Structure 1
């Protein structure tokens, strides 16, 4: 299968924005900082962000949550399943919950509430991409990489059917009728 993907945010823009986010987080002076990456899509963003936080003078610890709201389908549901939970004690800690994209907000709302119920001092959200027009619940990101247009995005950890996570940029899949001017990526 051949897919056309146009670049939305290139490597340099991403690196610059991630460094700026780390500086913003550093200025908030978090205590006992725990970064919780929501898997799978945020793994590259989270890795780059914690390295940038280190360069900004922070010493974050790292944990992971693997949540699913899709089940067997391709559209989200109201039911969130925990596939992997945070193992560290979060009581009294400042937490940055990191995700690739804040869209409906259901998954991040679930994760944030769960961490607060377990005694976190604070839970702030860092989202690489924000699609506020798709929000189904009242939640916002404290730290946003980029506003995302209404397109299906891939790359930099985000996938389409488990493919294209490895792309070093964020691109969008071009519908067949519009194909012709982007990078053609085939398997």
Structure 2
């Protein structure tokens, strides 16, 4: 496992830029195989923005032509642990009645955020609401939900990079890593 030092923090690389790129190509093919109709991709911001952008480009190469809208949901704010309550900070503008929706999120851990978004969009009349997550951390689910498409299973570590942050730091990293506490 490789490591880098940034601003006094050691970050161990868990999933490299190349690993992520290759996995997203196959994930896009999986999504295309579901033959979505009038697909609306809804990234859950902020953490999923890098994953969503790369996945959308991979979906284009897989022959899909989705529309995109964004939601900002939060259960973390500046904390490193979920508060257990999901807040809608920004809702989508798009009409979803009778459409296939793909929620895109960075990590499925407690499942509260993804379950909340899925239930919300289904209640608004979506034909289907599927999900794609970059990372799944088993063992912490507090909601009854499973991602339809998952890039990687993640060890039980606090992760950063590839859009995910630690108090607004490290989103720019092109890989997923773990900040190692050094005494």
TM-score, with length taken from structure 1: 0.91
Pair 71,88 (structure 1): closer, same or farther in 2 beyond 3 Å: same
RMSD: 1.2
2: CA distance between counterparts of 1:149 and 1:82?
A: 28
2:142 is aligned with 1:136? yes
1: CA distance between counterparts of 2:33 and 2:79?
A: 41
2:107 is aligned with 1:101? yes
The aligned counterpart of 1:65 is: 71
For the residue of structure 2 that corresponds to 1:141, the secondary structure is: coil
Deviations 1:140-160, CA, capped at 9 Å, x for gaps: 100000000011111100001
For the residue of structure 2 that corresponds to 1:8, the secondary structure is: strand
TM-score, with length taken from structure 2: 0.93
1: CA distance between counterparts of 2:170 and 2:76?
A: 19
Q: Identify unmatched segments of 5+ residues in structure 1.
A: 178-187
The one of 33, 39, 45 aligned to 2:51: 45
Task: Specify which structure has the bigger relative contact order, considering alpha-carbon pairs within 8 angstroms and separated by 6 or more residues.
Answer: 1
Give the conservation status (yes or no) of the 8 Å contact 2:43–2:49. yes
Pair 50,174 (structure 1): closer, same or farther in 2 beyond 3 Å: same
For the residue of structure 2 that corresponds to 1:132, the secondary structure is: coil
The one of 85, 92, 100 aligned to 2:98: 92
2: CA distance between counterparts of 1:34 and 1:26?
A: 13
Query: How many positions carry a matched residue from both structures?
Result: 177
Give the conservation status (yes or no) of the 8 Å contact 2:137–2:155. yes
The one of 140, 146, 152 aligned to 1:146: 152
Q: Which 4+ residue blocks in structure 1 deviate beyond 2 angstroms?
A: 70-75
Q: Identify unmatched segments of 5+ residues in structure 2.
A: 1-6
